[in-house]
Amino acid sequence: MNAESIQEAVKGLAPLAVAFGGKVLAVILLLWIGLSIASRLGQRVTSSLEKRDFDRSLARFFGQLLRWGIVLGVVLACLSVFGIDTTSFAAVIGAAGLAIGLAFQGTLGNFASGVMLLVFRPFKVGDVVKVGGVLGKIYEVGLFTTSFDTLDNRRIIVPNGGVAGQTIENITFHEKRRVDIDVGASYDADIPMTREKLEAAVKRVKDRLEDEPHQVFLKGLGGSSVDWQVRIWCDAANYWAVWEQTVEAVKAELDGAEIGIPYPQMDVYLKEMPARAAE
């Protein structure tokens, strides 16, 4: 290539350099500023979430998500500087976002349920609850799942959607609870005497709340027994201890008064068949 051809090539590129030189410099400057802002904001979001005891994996995920979102916006802005139509890119991004949303709709539903549980607080960590057939102590309320520890020390993890959409029974919400013990007495037993013995059994329960009224309730007439119910108030922490003490006291008082505690039984009568029918 001789000097004349090189000069002609330079003269041909000169208008292009004049036309696009400013745009190229603007794009380079825009990319540098955009990438710097994206990196700093991503790091700031990650560090601020980690300082608030947020899950480290999720903190980094949200930081990266913000960073790449800004980078994508900067790239589209650079393309528009050269006159490239970015409408099609926006449509593709919107379609991809819709597809991702549909794919993760269950996960997003669990996330929304987790936010509701954290806002309305039907229970807190340490409460004993029964929800969706699961009975246990709340270990952790996460963004997507809730962790339970059962009474026999098993870890159960339930999606938040399955928790928020069920009836929640918070067993330890109140400081006091009532112990209800069903008692069956023999039909031969005297009603006033049975009531007296059950009242005496209540007084033998040492961990009951004496300032709360108890009740010995005549519940009904069962198939094999006269049904009673003994109702005693106690601290929620002593619930099972009071339950056991009440059962033991009732059994001791009824045995001492020789009042039977019948078990279900059936009386069968055999009718003698006529002699002709027997033949």
Taking the domains of the chain in order of start, what are their residue ranges?
Answer: 12-103, 122-170, 176-256
Averaged over 85-98, what is the pLDDT? 62
- pLDDT level of residue 19 (50, 70, 90 thresholds): low
Question: What CATH fold (topology level) applies to the domain 12-103?
Answer: Helix Hairpins (1.10.287)
Q: Which residues have CB under 8 Å from 72's CB, separation 6+?
A: 93
Distance of CA 143 to the CA centre of its chain: 9
Q: Nearest to residue 155, comparing CAs of 169, 177, 139, 142?
A: 139
Which has the higher per-residue pLDDT, 145 or 216? 216
pLDDT at 90 over 80: no
pLDDT at 36 over 60: yes
Q: Which residues have CB under 8 Å from 208's CB, separation 6+?
A: 202, 214, 232, 233, 234, 242
Quick one: pLDDT at residue 149? Answer: 94
Whether the domain at 12-103 and the domain at 176-256 fall into the same CATH topology? no
Residue-averaged pLDDT of the chain: 81
Please check whether residue 160 is in contact with residue 146, taking contact to mean a CB–CB distance below 8 angstroms: yes
Give me the numbers of helices (H) and strands (E) for the chain, helices first please: 8, 8
Q: Nearest to residue 45, comparing CAs of 74, 70, 77?
A: 70
Note the pTM of the prediction, 2 decimals.
0.56
Torsion, Cα 43 44 50 56, to 10 degrees, reads -30
- pLDDT level of residue 78 (50, 70, 90 thresholds): confident
Which of 88-92, 119-123, 212-216 bottoms out in mean pLDDT, i.e. has the lowest? 88-92
Which has the higher per-residue pLDDT, 130 or 8? 130
Distance CA 17, CA 167 (A): 71
The CATH-assigned architecture of domain 176-256 is: 2-Layer Sandwich (3.30)
pLDDT at 84 over 80: no
Length of the chain counted residue by residue: 279
Quick one: pLDDT at residue 61? Answer: 62
User: Which amino acid makes up residue 192?
Assistant: P
Pairing of strands 128-131, 168-170: antiparallel
Which class in CATH covers the domain with range 122-170?
Answer: mainly beta
pLDDT by residue (tens digit) across 151-179?
899 999 998 888 888 889 999 899 999 99
